[in-house]
Chains A and B, each alone.
Chain A
Amino acid sequence: MKLKQKSLGEIVFVGVCYLIIIFMCVVTLYPFMYLISASLSSATSVMKNEVFLFPKNFTWRAYQVVFQYKGIWTAYMNTIFYTVFGTILSLTLTILAAYPMSKKRWAWKKTMGLFVTFTMWFGGGMIPFYLTMRNLHLLDTRLGILLYPAISAFYIVIFRTHFESLPEALEESAKIEGANDFQILVRIIIPLSKPIMAAIALYYAIDRWNAYFWEMLLLTDDAKVPVQVLLQRIIINSQLGQDIAKALSPGEATIPNTIKYAAIMITTIPIIMIYPFLQKYFVSGALVGSVKE
C-alpha cells in the first residue's frame, strides 16, 4: 500500500516536470510560429487580427517587396562580410593568444594571463571606448567594425584550457625534428582542436551576425550598415527611413506589418536554419563556458 502511494507521488512529480517543459517549449516557439505565419499572410488578414497560428490567405508578397528593396541586399552583404571576416579574424587572434598562454616555458605566461583576464572583470565603459574608436579614426569604417570586438577573453581562456590538456609529448617529438612553435601550432595542435574551434567559431559568428549597438553608433554611411541596423530602422525608427518606407510601402502611409514580419524573418532565418544542424556545437560551447565559470 505504502509503495503504491509513493509511486503515485513520483508519477505526479515527473508529470509536473513534463508539463513545465512542454509549457516552456510552447512559450518559446509560439512567437516564431506566429512570426512565420504573419509574414506569409495577406496584409489585411494580419491587420484585422485574423492570424493566430497558421497563415491566412497565403502569399509571398511581403518577401517579394522586401527583396525588391536594394538596401536589404546591401545590408545583407555587409552582415555576411562582417560575419565571415570578423570570425576568421577573431578565431585567429584567439588561438594566437591562447597558445603562448598555455606554455609553461613561456616566462610571461602568468602575467599575460592576468593581462587578458583582467578585462573580463573591468572595462572603461561606453564613453571611453567610443572616444578611443574616434581617436583611432575608426568611426564609419569597415575596419573598425571588424576590429572592435575582435577578441573575447572568455574564449581565450577556453582555448588555453584545451591546449593545456593536450599531451606535451606531441610537441616534444616535433621539436626533435626541428619544427618551430608556429609549425607545431599549425600542423599538430590545430588539427587536434577542430571540435572546439568549430564551437568557438560558431559563437563568434553568431555574435557578429547579431551585433547591433556599436554598428549603429559607429557607422553613418548607409552603404556599410549591417542588416540588424537596417531592421531596427524599418521597425522602430520609421522617420529615419523615409526612403526605406517609400521602397517598402509604395502608395501607403506606413509600412504594412506583414513586410515588417518578413524583414524580421529574413534577419534571423540563417540562425534558425543552421541551429538544428549545429546544435551539438551550440551546446558544447555553452557547456565548456559554464564549466569554466
Chain B
Amino acid sequence: MKKTGRIKTELHKNKYLYLMFLPVFVWYILFAYVPMGGMIIAFQKFDIVKGMMNSKWLGFENFRTLFKDPYFFRLLKNTLSINVFGLIFGFPLPIILAIAFNEIRLKRFKKVTQTISYLPHFISSVVVMSMVIQFLSPDGGLVNGFLNLLGKESIYFLQIPKYFKTIFISTGIWQGTGFSAILYMAALAGIPKEQYEAATVDGAGKFKQMLYITLPNLAPTIVIMLLINLGSILNVGHERIILLYNPAIYETADVFNSYVYREGIMGRRYSYAQAVTLFQNLVGFFLVFSANKVTRKLDGTTLW
C-alpha cells in the first residue's frame, strides 16, 4: 500500500522526465536490445520464414562448422595481422605527433597544423577508399604515374594479394593519426610544469625530459588505449574492407567482419555468420578481462 503510494508520487513528481525518456527507451529496445537478443540465432538453424521462435536449435553446431571452415585460418591470420601490424606501425605515431605538437610555441602555426591533422578523420570511408583506388589505378593513377616517371612498369596494386595489408594499414594511419593524437595532447596538458622545471634545473635536456617525464606521464593513457585495442583484436571494420577489397585478393584481404557480411547477408547463412560474430566478441571479452587483470596488478591502471 505504502509502496504503491510512493511510486505514485514519484510518477507524479517526475512525470515529464518519464515522458521525455519514453521515446529514447523505445528506440533502445527496438534498435539495441532486440538485436542483442537476436544473437541467439548463432545456436539455431535460423529460418527467415519461420522466424526465431520456430527455428531449429543446433546447440554449438555452427561453432564446430566455423572451426572446420577451410577459410577460418585465413580469416584469423588476416584479421590478426592487420590489427597487429596496424598497432606496431600505427600506435606510436599519435604519441609522437602529440609530443611534437607540445613543443610548438608558435600559436598560429600550431593551430593551423592541428586543424590540418584532424581533417582526414572527418572524410567518409567511401571518399578515402575511392581516392586510394583511384591513386593506385594502373591506368592514370598517381602512384603508377610516379613509378612510370622512375622508369618502372605500372603495378596492379589492388589485384595482387601481397600489397593489400600495407595499403589498408597506411590508409588507416593517414586517416586516424591526427585525431588520435588529441587524446595524448589532453594527457600532456595535464603534466605539471614543475616537473619539467625541476628537470631543467638538474640539467636534463629535452630528450631526457621526454624519456623520464613525458612518457611515464603518458603511460596510463597508453595502457588504456592498448587495452581497448586488444578487445577488438579480432575486429577489423567491415565497411573499409569491403570498399577496398575484391575477389582477386580475398587471400590477404578477407577478415571476419567482411566474411560475416558476405556469408551472412549476401549468402543468407544468418546463423553461421552470427556464430562468427559471437566467437569474435567472446575472444575480445576474454582478452580484455585478462589483460585488465594483469595491468591492474602491475600499476593500477584499469578500464573499469
Contact = CB atoms under 8 A, between A and B. Distances in A.
Interface in A57-114: 93, 96-97, 99-101, 103, 105-108, 112
B39 A128 contact: yes
Nearest to A256: B140
Contact of B100 (A21, A126, A291): A21
Contacts of B101: 17, 21
A93 B133 contact: no
Given A31-B131, A182-B16, A212 B124 contact: yes
Contacts of B183: 290, 293
A119 B32 contact: yes
Contact of B140 (A107, A257, A282): A257
A150 B30 CA distance: 12
Binding site secondary structure of chain A: helix
Contacts of B186: 287, 290-291
A217 B17 contact: no
Nearest to A96: B20
Contact of A124 (B13, B17, B37, B137): B37
A17 B20 contact: no
Given A124-B37, A126-B261, A127-B260, A257 B97 contact: no
Given A21-B113, A125-B39, A127-B260, A96 B134 contact: no
B283 interface: no
A181 interface: yes
Interface string A255-293: 001001100100110011001100100110011001101
Interface in B1-59: 10, 13-14, 16-21, 23-25, 27-28, 30-39, 41, 48
A172 interface: no
A264 B130 contact: yes
Contacts of B206: 9-10, 13-14
Contact of A14 (B17, B96, B103): B103
A129 B28 CA distance: 12
B179 interface: yes
24 contacts: A20-B96, A24-B117, A24-B178, A25-B116, A34-B135, A49-B149, A52-B142, A96-B20, A100-B17, A103-B14, A107-B10, A123-B35, A126-B260, A126-B261, A126-B265, A136-B30, A231-B126, A231-B127, A231-B130, A236-B243, A268-B123, A271-B123, A275-B119, A290-B183
Q: Return the 8 tightest CB-CB contacts between A and B, nearest first.
A: A128-B38, A49-B145, A210-B124, A181-B16, A124-B35, A125-B277, A13-B206, A17-B100
Interface of B: 10, 13-14, 16-21, 23-25, 27-28, 30-39, 41, 48, 96-97, 99-101, 103-104, 113-120, 122-127, 129-131, 133-135, 137, 139-142, 144-145, 148-149, 174, 177-179, 182-183, 186, 203, 205-207, 210, 224, 238-239, 242-243, 257, 260-261, 264-265, 270, 273-274, 277-278, 281
